[in-house]
Amino acid sequence: METQPLTKDRSIETNKVLLIIGILIVAVNLRPAITAVGPLISDIRTDMGITNGVAGIITTLPLLAFGVFSLAAPRLGYRFGNEMMIFAGLFTLLFGIIVRSTGFTATLFLGTAFVGIGIAIANVLLPSIVKTKYPGKIGLITGAYTTTMSAFAAIGTGVSIPLATGLNLGWEGALLFWSGLAVIGLVLWFPQVREARSAKEKADAAGKNKSKLPVPGTTIWRSSLAWQVTLFMGLQSFLFYGLITWLPVILHNSGGLPLSFSAWVVSIMQIAGLPMTFLTPILATRLKNQQGIVTMIAGLYVIGFIGLLVSEATWLFVVSAILIGLAQGSSISLALTMLGIRAANGKQAAELSGMAQSVGYGLAAVGPIIIGSILDITASGTIAVYVFIGVAVLKLFAGLGAARDRTV
């Protein structure tokens, strides 16, 4: 008599474990294919015979793809299911990594665009999965997957040069390395596709899918709060991708640090932010508003950037990078948490995520190009760091609005 309920309970627990594992493995794939590029920029630029400004497009292309396909992702998720579209995103990412690594200029940019498309889809729909499946644990789950994402972003930066030069893989092989994670992601996420399909078939058989909610509309675009969340997301992305791409070069050119060590400083910056990445969402969901967190983030950014300007000793550059890392770790996880706590339900979370990541990453896309062009013109990182400070101040004002205790 008790066998069937016990078996059912075990099945439910297994599905929950598989979902957590699936969310984390998707998060693993959301950054290293991009962050691995920064330390290799000089090799790619030399091999391809391109300028710093053009090389910046390699990082900008995924962000442009984020901007375009983040708009489509909520509707695709509604039409085909979030689980299926995340699987499709991982497959697109895998395809892009392989194409990008073939060693030709055209395929470098084409594959990079597909990398961006794949990541964009998963980026947008993962917060909706969390909001729908774990409405009471948004902070904890967001903290866990954001920390995982950030950790592998740091690993992507740190191991690029060892893979390219230490293992003699070249920049092509170093970028291709990350296809293995995409394959693992496809395998471990597939149970969610199968589970969602089974649930849909059961609902169809029971006649529960005859009356569907309308496809998310565009009313969210008229919300000032949604725009503040979007700007907060975009400006933190501007800083993240600008720093990931060009901080190694800035530390090398202006600070006199070896390029390989500069790459590790950027990895240290990202690793330093991991505790903040995990703790910030948990704290944010327990506070009535998050304006104190936003103010702290801005302060850490500004102090860290000023440190880069005045530092002469190597250890001071490292300390400054750690402060920036603390701000960045808290910033990205708070931005993703806002997508859940500022939305009323899972569908609205997907819509807000699509808006924030499309416009936000569109804004961020100009970051690597602007910083790369500044480095081309000035041959110094000082002006670039001043730009970072200005963006951090603008981010403070957007964040103070986005942190209010309201929903869109």
Please spell the DSSP secondary structure of 341-391, one letter per residue: HTSSSHHHHHHHHHHHHHHHHHHHTHHHHHHHHHHHHHSSSHHHHHHHHHH
Mean of pLDDT values over 242-269? 82
Where residue 404 falls (left for φ over 0; alpha for ψ -120 to 50; beta otherwise) is beta
CA distance 209 to 180: 37
Going by pLDDT thresholds of 50, 70 and 90, the confidence category of residue 210 is very low
pLDDT of residue 105: 84
CATH class of 3-402: mainly alpha
Phi/psi of residue 175, each to 5°? -75, -35
pTM: 0.78
pLDDT of residue 11: 63
Going by pLDDT thresholds of 50, 70 and 90, the confidence category of residue 207 is low
**Contact in structure between 216 and 75 (CB atoms under 8 Å):** yes
Mean of pLDDT values over 128-150? 88
Q: What is the pLDDT of residues 355-401, one digit of tens each?
A: 888 887 777 778 878 888 888 888 778 899 999 999 999 999 999 99
- Quick one: tokens of 180? 């293995």
pLDDT of residue 123: 87
Tell the residue number behind the tokens 């700007």, with chain if given.
231
- CB count, 10 Å around CB of 123? 26
Going by pLDDT thresholds of 50, 70 and 90, the confidence category of residue 9 is low
Going by pLDDT thresholds of 50, 70 and 90, the confidence category of residue 12 is low
Q: What is the pLDDT of residues 80-92, one digit of tens each?
A: 999 999 999 999 9
Angle at 118 between CA 76 and CA 30, to 5 degrees: 120
Looking at per-residue confidence, does 71 or 204 come out higher?
A: 71
Side chain identity, residue 155: I
